Structure 1
């Protein structure tokens, strides 16, 4: 059976990594049988990141590359009905989540002092003396990543302003629809849920989480997907 290797649940959400949650959501939406393997050490994974999959002799990282592999092997039940234009739009919207919204979210958790005070709880499982220096190393790596991308060069209010602009755009796309492209889920919904559930279902105190909690469309969207595809976890 295909194995999905990902981080443990935390802070009320199935996975604190939007990319892990994206991939598990895709597997569930596409009806692909799989087993979840919990792992707290991304260094053991291909590309040094989670999620990854183990499918027989195939070991693969990167959620988007994995989904391409799954489509090739199992077919494409979620996106087959999309037009070429819709597939192009889905790629652009996926980039908004993964290449734009990602960085304000990372900032809100790892750099913002309020977020960081909560995130340190993730390291409580580490043995001594790792518990004392690993959190700072991880935070420093995230800080370097955000700065290198460019978002980390802005003031906090500017970072959150960018994030809120992205969220308003997503809110506009979703509108009153059940899913991003209408009444049926697509792979874009796996991406969207991976990010939106990480804002709707967690209680971090920052403008992004407050916006998510105050947006009925986001709350209903996450509840719909959780009920439709994760009901077995209740």
Structure 2
């Protein structure tokens, strides 16, 4: 049986990591038997990241690598799409993982109002008196990365404007059809939905979470994805 090495449950979700949620969704849709194996410290893993899939061929790192391996075993997550639609689906994957992902990091690690709640979720196994001391260097490293990338340099209003520019086209498609690419779930949904779900459930006090709660079209879309691919 395949084993998905994943960050543990958190924020009421299958995993604290949207990339791990994506991997689990792909495994569910692939039809392959699999089980989860939780870990907190991925430093011994390839790329020092999760998810990682334990397979008969060895460890497969990264959600994209997992997708490639599963498709090599016969899965086709975009089976109904022509070449142009497959290209569009790939673009949605990249938007989710390289832009929505930055907004998720920003809200979790760089919002002082939200940070205590996030810290207590992610570092829950650390005894409370030591939690801030242990988490502070990790947070500082993530903050430095966000500043280097540039998102952390914008005002909240500027960041929300950029986020709205991503949410509007997602909502436009989700208002016309069940899923982003049509009647059936595809790779696009398996990247976009985990990031939006993670934003939605991170913190009631987050401006981003509140915006998504108020976005009824997107909430309905996320419910459809979750109902189509329920995770253990």
2:163 matched to which residue of 1? Answer: 163
Q: Distance in 2 between matches of 1:114 and 1:31?
A: 41
Greater CA deviation, 83-92 or 216-225?
Answer: 216-225
Q: Deviations over 1:40-75 (max 9, x none)?
A: 112122101111111024112111121011101233
Q: Does 1:26 align with 2:26?
A: yes
Q: Distance in 2 between matches of 1:110 and 1:128?
A: 18
Q: 1:212 touches 1:218 (CA, 8 Å); kept in 2?
A: yes
CA distance 1:57–1:72, change in 2 (3 Å)? closer
1:144 matched to which residue of 2? Answer: 144
Please report how far the alpha carbon of residue 210 of structure 1 lies from its aligned counterpart in structure 2 after TM superposition.
1.5
Q: 1:164 touches 1:207 (CA, 8 Å); kept in 2?
A: no
1:37 matched to which residue of 2? Answer: 37
Q: Give SS of 1:209's match.
A: helix
Unaligned runs of 5+ in 1: none
Q: Distance in 2 between matches of 1:144 and 1:199?
A: 21
- Match runs of 1:127-138 below 5 Å: 131-138=131-138
Please report how far the alpha carbon of residue 129 of structure 1 lies from its aligned counterpart in structure 2 after TM superposition.
8.1
2:126 matched to which residue of 1? Answer: 126
Please report how far the alpha carbon of residue 206 of structure 1 lies from its aligned counterpart in structure 2 after TM superposition.
2.5
2:198 matched to which residue of 1? Answer: 198
TM-score between the two structures when normalised by the length of structure 2: 0.91
1:71 matched to which residue of 2? Answer: 71
Q: Distance in 1 between matches of 2:206 and 2:163?
A: 11
2:90 matched to which residue of 1? Answer: 91
Q: 1:13 touches 1:202 (CA, 8 Å); kept in 2?
A: no
1:82 matched to which residue of 2? Answer: 81
Q: 1:4 touches 1:51 (CA, 8 Å); kept in 2?
A: yes
Please report how far the alpha carbon of residue 32 of structure 1 lies from its aligned counterpart in structure 2 after TM superposition.
2.3
Q: Deviations over 1:92-117 (max 9, x none)?
A: 11111111111122111111111212
1:10 matched to which residue of 2? Answer: 10
Please report how far the alpha carbon of residue 128 of structure 1 lies from its aligned counterpart in structure 2 after TM superposition.
8.2
1:207 matched to which residue of 2? Answer: 207
Report the number of matched residues. 231
Aligned CA-pair RMSD? 1.9
CA distance 1:220–1:111, change in 2 (3 Å)? same
TM-score between the two structures when normalised by the length of structure 1: 0.90
CA distance 1:39–1:222, change in 2 (3 Å)? same
Q: Distance in 2 between matches of 1:202 and 1:112?
A: 12
Please report how far the alpha carbon of residue 203 of structure 1 lies from its aligned counterpart in structure 2 after TM superposition.
3.3
